[in-house]
Amino acid sequence: MPPFFPFSFSPHYLISSLSLSPLSLPPPPLRRRRRAPPIGPAAGGPPARGEGGSGCRRLLRRACGFTAAVSLSPRTPPRDNIVYRMRVNMSLDITQVLLSAQSPDGATRKLAEESLKQFQEQNLPGFLFSLSNELANEEKPEESRRLAGLILKNALDAKEQHRKNELFQRWLALDVGVKAQIKGFLLQTLSSPVASARSTSSQVIAKVAGIEIPQKQWPELIASLLSNIHQVQPNVKQATLETLGYLCEEVSPEAVDQDQVNKILTAVVQGMNASEGNSDVRLAATRALYNALGFAQVNFSNDMERDYIMRVVCEATQSTDVKIRQAAFECLVAISSTYYDKLATYMQDIFNITAKAVRGDEESVALQAIEFWSSICDEEIDILDEYSSEFTADSDVPCYYFIKQALPALVPMLLETLLKQEEDQDLDEGAWNLAMAGGTCLGLVARTVGDDIVPLVMPFVEENITKPDWRHREAATYAFGSILEGPSADKLAPLVNVALNFMLSALVNDPSNHVKDTTAWTLGRIFEFLHGSALETAPIITSENCQQILTVLLQSMKDVPNVAEKACGALYFLAQGYVDAGSASPLTPFFQDIIQSLLFVTHREDAGESRLRTAAYETLNEVVRCSIEETGPIVMQLVPVIMMELHQTLEAGKLSTDEREKRSELQGLLCGCLQVIIQKLGAMESTKYSFLQYADQMMELFLRVFACRNATVHEEAMLAIGALAYAAGPNFSKYMPQFYQYLEMGLQNFEEYQVCAITVGVVGDLCRALEDKILPYCDGIMTQLLKDLSSNQLHRSVKPPIFSCFGDIALAIGENFEKYLIYAMPMLQSAADLSAHAAAADDEMLDYTNQLRNGILEAYSGILQGFKSSPKTQLLMQYAPNILNFLDALYNGKDMDDTVMKTAIGVLGDLADTLGVHAGPLINQSISSKKFLEECLASDDPLVKESADWARVAISRAISYLAF
């Protein structure tokens, strides 16, 4: 084994780490929400005896003394002995430890937490048994029971996939008798009179079911739960229905027999029925149905069963209990996205129900009623986007044009909501109310139906835009801004030309901040969708009105933070429209003023409000991107300014937590700004060499930034360094000795995987910049990349770019990549076999699979090109059959996207180009190479066709006697 590689490696690790199997990665659930009340530690539980003193410490240590490992007597069956010992252990006071873990005294709390951790590590069966017993014990305090349940739940599940798998395996490895005792305690707790205990137990049961049911374990659970439905006590029925709902959230539908699915749905729908007298039971059933909808594919295909479910859901929307009404509408929203094609016969009734809710119900209910129509829009937009002009009635996914049919009644209903603003409504990002929901839905309707919405909205705009009440002016402006995406430019341009002067005046002169805020947002929408080189209509922005627009925007950037932030956004889109404008830009005469105004905004005392500082820097970046040779010197003046500001953040003394967060945010913005400046100045011949005089100082600043522990700052600094490397070219090698340690740290950063992904991309930048000067660092880089691929802890999204990085390295170092072939090629083959035959469970998984395929193909392409014209080319011959088999599998799979198709046909050409006549017979024997090439040559995608044209020439040379 070559000395560069310090650990043994087997490519089979890759299979589990890529998480491609639909069995190991079930499809994401419906838009599910956790509705259970929080069960975190209660603040200020009853004080412990001797709390905070040495007596308390002795008590805690004594309470955790049962962490000793269990020894088994040869005279007693192991299962019975473990259970017996755990019963004995219950005499020890875990209750007190749990209460102390919620103590307001930090020392007491820390000691209790350490004791619980020690107990878990030394005796997991006893730990879980004790927690479940605590949860089930009616004589224990509610606070200790709740925390016991929370800890128990967290011992079964985690957010990170690798940790989740570890916890799953740990539970499955427990003694069967121990698990039976724990599950018995959990089921027992469902009948507790304490609501928090029941709810916590419901969640834990579902977590256990999520582990065991796919393994064909706990087969009696569902029947046991269903038997509870017939209990007289409402609290038992409520808890059972809640458990069924959580179970449906945790367990994949494929793991449950249809007969059991039918029984679950029957129990849930019966619990929702208006004849159910207890509102808590009915609410739990309604929420359970939301989670169970993914199980109801067969039932929704049956007309009678679907009718019954829909009738019960619609009846629930009329309940006297607002929570039930809200939950019922949430079910309708989920049904709209999951069973869109089954809704035609119900749409008139649903419209009546939603209209009534929007116009007269509580806001929480009305919001869900609007969300139903937003969801329908999403479905129809997706269908129409996918099929475009090829859509026919015979297509696999039908479009019923529900929005178009409902348009005459739906649009007026949505316009009414725009007038329901609140005087003191929160204008910060994230605020949400009826008017915002209505405007968002109106925008989606515009995207769905296009030009048809304009005549329905414009009378509302004209009627309200000049009224004295600010609500009417704001609603009219919001309505106009909402419909700017969707209709054609030909339809909108005349309206915008008329409205532009009016809106510019309103942005400066309207007395209402609400109106000015929405006006600036609408101007931004105009510049985003009706401005730019791609538009074929007459330009909205001309040299005549550009000065007026800029004057108003720059003045508005001095307004209150929320208005200034929207003005920055409008300027952002205005500048974006000139990024590809070439040498002519109306912004050029005002470039200096624009930059000075944006820098002024970043220094405002209130720049931390309404994301104003962030918006100003993002807009500054876009202005820099649209700069041209003429404005290059102005951008150059920015370099020392931004560098000085970054330097000042690094010189700050001791800071509070809040101050550190603000400093980190500013550092990230400044590094991001420098990255854009580097890219722009490095790409212009007139500025490239003079700008590089700052490279040493920049690099010193970036390296100092890495000392600040913040993932976002590290991402931005790493991206800036990648841009600097690309601009500096081979000269960047002088920074590598200092920079390499941070590069390696980034590649090792599994926890903050975005940093790792960006670092992988920077390795590619370095390869392109340094070429063979990267060679001294390749052993360390390749070692770490292979470790990353072998890890089941690293997020899967990082792995496709790692494969691409193999190609970058091979291109840079050529035949010197030889020493890495014996590790890289088996890894690529394992991943190729896996990805070629992966069954994509959903669109998200298919997208990831195609990203992975593209990364593998880019690796093959880089390696083949790197060895071209080398005497060591023959080293690749042994891998050629596997590469061709991969290409055959991709072609036959018929699920690759255009990007993969382009890269794949390029790899076929690379194979022929690099291996020449030696590849000819292999390509000739390939089942699908000829068909694949013909299909790519006929592609509508110009990039695919261009790659195919090149591949055809290369293949023709390799197989000169065959006609392709």
Q: What share of the chain is helix, strand, coil (3-state, %, to 5)?
A: 75, 0, 25
> What per-residue confidence (pLDDT) applies to 580?
77
Give the span between the Cα atoms of 267 and 766, in whole angstroms: 61
Confidence of residue 918 (pLDDT cuts 50, 70, 90): confident
Question: Lowest-pLDDT range, 504-513, 723-732, 935-944?
Answer: 935-944
Residue 717: CB atoms within 10 A of its CB come to 30
Pick from 677, 685, 687: nearest CA to 642: 677
Burial of 230 (0-12, 13-18, 19+ CB in 10 A): exposed
More confident residue, 448 or 539: 448
| pLDDT over 90 at 67, yes or no | no
More confident residue, 399 or 42: 399
Helices (H), 604-735: 612-625, 632-650, 657-683, 685-691, 695-705, 711-728
Q: Could you tell me if 336 and 310 are in contact, meaning their C-beta atoms sit under 8 angstroms apart? A: no
For 258-290, how does the pLDDT look when each residue is reduced to its tens digit (9 = 90+)?
A: 999 999 999 999 999 988 889 999 999 999 999
Pick from 469, 444, 447: nearest CA to 375: 444
> What per-residue confidence (pLDDT) applies to 10?
40
Does residue 592 sit within a domain?
no
DSSP 8-state class, residue 451: G
> What per-residue confidence (pLDDT) applies to 428?
53
Structure tokens, 253: 């539908």
Confidence of residue 396 (pLDDT cuts 50, 70, 90): low
| pLDDT over 50 at 899, yes or no | yes
For 332-372, how does the pLDDT look when each residue is reduced to its tens digit (9 = 90+)?
A: 999 999 999 999 999 999 999 999 999 999 999 999 999 99
CA dihedral for 389, 390, 395, 397, sign (positive or negative): negative
Average the pLDDT over 293-301 and give the result: 93
**Residues in contact with 517: Cβ distance below 8 Å, sequence separation at least 6, in sequence order:** 427, 562, 563, 566
CA distances from 894 to 19, 636, 900, 932 (A): 21, 50, 11, 11
The CATH number linked to 878 is: 1.25.10.10
Q: Could you tell me if 179 and 139 are in contact, meaning their C-beta atoms sit under 8 angstroms apart? A: no
Domain boundary among 486, 501, 518: 486
Give the span between the Cα atoms of 75 and 438, in whole angstroms: 72
The single residue listed with the structure tokens 């018929």 is: 894
Three-class SS state of 531? coil
Does residue 881 sit within a domain?
yes
Residue type at 959 in one-letter notation: I
Question: Lowest-pLDDT range, 68-77, 149-158, 184-193, 447-456?
Answer: 68-77
Structure tokens, 732: 């960047």
Give the span between the Cα atoms of 391 and 394, in whole angstroms: 8
For 98-137, how does the pLDDT look when each residue is reduced to its tens digit (9 = 90+)?
A: 999 999 988 999 999 999 989 988 899 999 999 999 999 9
Q: What percent of the chain has pLDDT over 70?
A: 87
Q: Could you tell me if 808 and 768 are in contact, meaning their C-beta atoms sit under 8 angstroms apart? A: yes
Query: What is the CA angle 16-907-679, rounded to 5?
Result: 85
| pLDDT over 90 at 464, yes or no | yes
| pLDDT over 50 at 751, yes or no | yes
For the residues of 845-880, what is the DSSP string, one character each? Answer: HHHHHHHHHHHHHHHHHHHHHHHTT-TTGGGGGGGH
The single residue listed with the structure tokens 């792995």 is: 799
Does residue 515 sit within a domain?
no
Give the span between the Cα atoms of 453 and 411, in whole angstroms: 8
Structure tokens, 761: 């991309």
Does residue 650 sit within a domain?
no
Query: What is the CA angle 866-869-870, rounded to 5?
Result: 75
DSSP 8-state class, residue 393: T
More confident residue, 845 or 757: 757
Give the span between the Cα atoms of 439 and 376, in whole angstroms: 15
> What per-residue confidence (pLDDT) applies to 791?
86
Q: Could you tell me if 263 and 225 are in contact, meaning their C-beta atoms sit under 8 angstroms apart? A: no
For the residues of 166-197, what is the DSSP string, one character each? Answer: HHHHHHHTS-HHHHHHHHHHHHHHTT-S-HHH
Residue type at 761 in one-letter notation: G
Q: What percent of the chain has pLDDT over 90?
A: 65
Does residue 568 sit within a domain?
no
Q: Could you tell me if 755 and 718 are in contact, meaning their C-beta atoms sit under 8 angstroms apart? A: yes
Give the span between the Cα atoms of 810 and 246, in whole angstroms: 50
Mean pLDDT rounded to a whole number for the chain: 85
Domain boundary among 471, 486, 501: 486
Average the pLDDT over 828-841 and give the result: 81
Domain boundary among 458, 486, 514: 486
Q: Domains in the chain: how many in total? A: 2
> What per-residue confidence (pLDDT) applies to 839?
66
| pLDDT over 70 at 61, yes or no | no
> What per-residue confidence (pLDDT) applies to 163?
84
CA distances from 92 to 59, 63, 118, 213, 955 (A): 10, 5, 15, 33, 77
Three-class SS state of 397? coil
For the residues of 610-641, what is the DSSP string, one character each? Answer: GGHHHHHHHHHHHHHHT--GGGHHHHHHHHHH
Average the pLDDT over 812-816 and give the result: 94
What is this structure's pTM?
0.83
For the residues of 785-826, what is the DSSP string, one character each? Answer: HHHHHH-SSS-GGGHHHHHHHHHHHHHHHGGGGHHHHHHHHH
Most confident stretch, 153-162, 219-228, 323-332: 323-332
Q: Which domain holds residue 368?
A: 343-390+397-422+431-486
Question: Lowest-pLDDT range, 513-527, 685-699, 843-857, 921-935?
Answer: 921-935
Question: Lowest-pLDDT range, 455-464, 528-537, 788-797, 830-839?
Answer: 528-537
33: phi then psi, degrees, rounded to nearest 5: -125, 140
Confidence of residue 58 (pLDDT cuts 50, 70, 90): very low
Element (H, E) at 381: helix 363-387
Q: Could you tell me if 961 and 919 are in contact, meaning their C-beta atoms sit under 8 angstroms apart? A: no
Residue 243: CB atoms within 10 A of its CB come to 27
**Residues in contact with 134: Cβ distance below 8 Å, sequence separation at least 6, in sequence order:** 94, 95, 98, 140, 144, 145, 148
Question: Lowest-pLDDT range, 166-170, 275-279, 582-586?
Answer: 582-586
For 637-680, how does the pLDDT look when each residue is reduced to its tens digit (9 = 90+)?
A: 999 999 999 999 998 777 888 888 889 999 999 999 999 999 99
Does residue 877 sit within a domain?
yes
Does residue 479 sit within a domain?
yes
Q: How far is residue 855 CA from its own chain's centroid?
A: 20
12: phi then psi, degrees, rounded to nearest 5: -65, -20
Three-class SS state of 284? helix
| pLDDT over 90 at 300, yes or no | yes
Give the span between the Cα atoms of 821 and 810, in whole angstroms: 10
> What per-residue confidence (pLDDT) applies to 480?
97
